[in-house]
Chains A and B, each alone.
Chain A
């Protein structure tokens, strides 16, 4: 079994009208065994920037700690939050540092940039960035997620419709993947508020 599939994960980020949604599954497993059904894959870097880390959970935790450290230092020096584009470059650089002994993670970055323009991107485990205007996916359920998002996505969705779309795409994709699932965690971020919701899906 691949090291990327050791813990199991599913992540998706989608762009709407002046907002974005980022969602993940909640399963933490060790190959075939489920350890926990409340694992947090998405973390807040600041009010307008969220990071999701799929792949090996230990590397996701280490990488998250390193990135929070770097962002806090940036905040102290620059006296402001990092822009999403800048943060994506930072993640990419940190991943490539370990080119010949990488972190086994695939990050998904979603944020609101200048003028509240939503920004999403993903990258592979050595930092190759993939910017997208509509949606990005990562994790063991990524192939199903590509299909589900491609068919359900529409341009310029309002936050409520975006939440429905992301939730349906996530739940239907993780249902076809035995290593991810056990519910969902969805963040819908607009310039004024962050709405966090927990989805109840098939608990298997």
Chain B
């Protein structure tokens, strides 16, 4: 690593060569306010003009987010000229911004408000008319409110990097510019997969999850039996909302909080994950031994399912017919559990806490209903849960650690836990398939070949009793499409593929806490590179702590089949736990 000598405010430092001024300053302990710059050049438009500083060797001020450091460079962050310029860029943004901060769900995590504070922006400077704005609330997953948009372009970059989809772009020009899907369509009328990756990076309240907190409140008011189930990835990230270091699992406190919010039962979706493995593992074995459509592809990520229906309608037979874990568990709650408790399914309201916003779309699908009753009634994200907790006055950090409700569906295996990270479903399924094919447990439980925490493709060949199973894993549609195109071309060598919508899997889902280095002074400079790994680690360590680590060894799962479902893939299992898919128009008639 070559280094260069620079000075910041006259103080000498040695920094890595090739860094931008912004990155170098961070390494030296300075946070230069910035908005459009994101994640080491993931978005490097240099368009917000907030991060301006003085640097020797440049004419005028430079955008520190793109300007590289050089030997001998002297940087002034706090010169009057730079301070004034930064403040004025922010003031101009504010002059065209819908400043109803009190009603904005982003308040507290809004980077615009943050830089406004830091730069000392005057509230009424440069007042004038606002651009025409648009509000899109049609999609179940996410809401776009251009009155809050500062046109930083981070969402556009993220959608492209994650999926090569290019859903979002700039429309019009000059003062009339706004960000939207093509032709100012709704997300719901475009090939958006409602993954929420763009929401994760939006600095303001312009892109937000479509909140369902109101639905939950209404269910409580209506006196329903409100049951909550939380997905594995939530516990690995919720703590970040309350100041815990990234990667701190907060399972016990989360359960305690859910109880205090008034939920009648607090269940872990891991039970549903174990159930999914039983069904999906059996389905895979069937396909392998009876000549079904191969490779079989996992179906528990609704962002991915959306993508398949919109872009690869011809490959839908490759998808496992299994519902996703929380949908399965919802169906079981409204059938088996309801029967055991003597409660009518109509009186039950199932809330899923998810790291995901595509689940909000999934939950409303016609194919996710049994006897016209939806399996799940509301999906709230990790972020929405944090908001509910704060709103209720619960001091999260002071909560005791509590346990899941144990009745009927309280047990879970470590296999279910790792669903939350890319490769996890594959690993969980392999543990069970191995057992089914060999009649014994694999000694080395961990399938390291399939582990990871980033986007991109991983593959492995697993030898099970002389049968080689070729598997591949992809997360983010940019990598998934490589595997899909191989299948389309008849060149796929795999039998089983796991695909997750979000890069890195659910730990990096579109409903997870925002990771913003400006709000995380305690974390390392590279937190935007390392948070996925840290969250993944939280899940792997929970797997290791479990006594039962294979889905088929979960006693309550065994009991569920014995008492109710019969065999995996039985007729009743199909009715409750399996679903179907249909190709969709990318740009339906409005």
A and B interact? no
Q: Chain A residues in contact with chain B, CB under 8 A?
A: none
Q: Chain B residues in contact with chain A, CB under 8 A?
A: none
